Amino acid sequence: MSFTSPLAWYWVVAPLAVAVLAAVLLLRALVHVGRGRFAHGAGHAGGGLVLGLLALCAGLIVLNTQTYARLTAERPVAEITVAAVHPALQTYQVTVRRLDGTGLASSCTVQGDEWLLSAAVQKWQPWMNVLGLDSTYTLDQVANKYYSASRGNGRRITACGLIGGAPAWVPHDVSAWLIDRALVEDRHFGSAVYMPLTDGALYRVVMTQSGLNAEAVNPIARDAVAKRL
**So what's the pLDDT on residue 111?**
93
In a domain, 1, yes or no: no
**So what's the pLDDT on residue 61?**
65
What whole-number distance in Å separates Cα of residue 111 and Cα of residue 91? 4
Once rounded to an integer, what is the mean pLDDT over residues 205-225? Answer: 91
- Considering only residues 39 and 84, tell me which one the structure prediction assigns the higher pLDDT: 84
Length of the chain: 229
**So what's the pLDDT on residue 168?**
45
The mean pLDDT value of the chain amounts to 78
What is the extent of the structural domain holding 58?
9-71
What whole-number distance in Å separates Cα of residue 183 and Cα of residue 192? 26
Sorting pLDDT into bands at 50, 70 and 90, what band is 11?
low
Domain tally for the chain?
A: 2
Tens of pLDDT along 62-76? 656 656 566 567 889
Instruction: Work out the number of other CB atoms within 10 angstroms of the CB of residue 188.
Output: 10
Pair (59, 159) in one structural domain? no
Last residue of a domain, one of 71, 90, 109: 71
Tens of pLDDT along 117-174? 999 888 877 777 677 777 888 888 999 999 888 888 888 889 999 876 554 444 555 5
Pair (67, 80) in one structural domain? no
Nearest to 209 by CA among 69, 115, 11: 69
Highest mean pLDDT among 21-25, 94-98, 124-128, 154-158: 94-98
Pair (100, 194) in one structural domain? yes
Tens of pLDDT along 107-118? 999 999 999 999
Pair (66, 81) in one structural domain? no
Tens of pLDDT along 132-145? 777 888 888 999 99
Q: What is the largest CA-CA distance in the chain?
A: 95
**So what's the pLDDT on residue 5?**
47
**So what's the pLDDT on residue 71?**
59
Sorting pLDDT into bands at 50, 70 and 90, what band is 175?
low
What whole-number distance in Å separates Cα of residue 7 and Cα of residue 134? 15
Sorting pLDDT into bands at 50, 70 and 90, what band is 1?
very low
Pair (67, 108) in one structural domain? no
Pair (82, 50) in one structural domain? no
Q: Cite the DSSP H helix spans in 35-153.
A: 38-71, 126-131, 149-152
Pair (154, 52) in one structural domain? no
Contact 101, 167 (CB under 8 A): yes
195 has a pLDDT exceeding 90: yes
Last residue of a domain, one of 36, 52, 71: 71
Sorting pLDDT into bands at 50, 70 and 90, what band is 49?
confident
What whole-number distance in Å separates Cα of residue 143 and Cα of residue 223? 22
What whole-number distance in Å separates Cα of residue 62 and Cα of residue 14? 10
Sorting pLDDT into bands at 50, 70 and 90, what band is 102?
confident
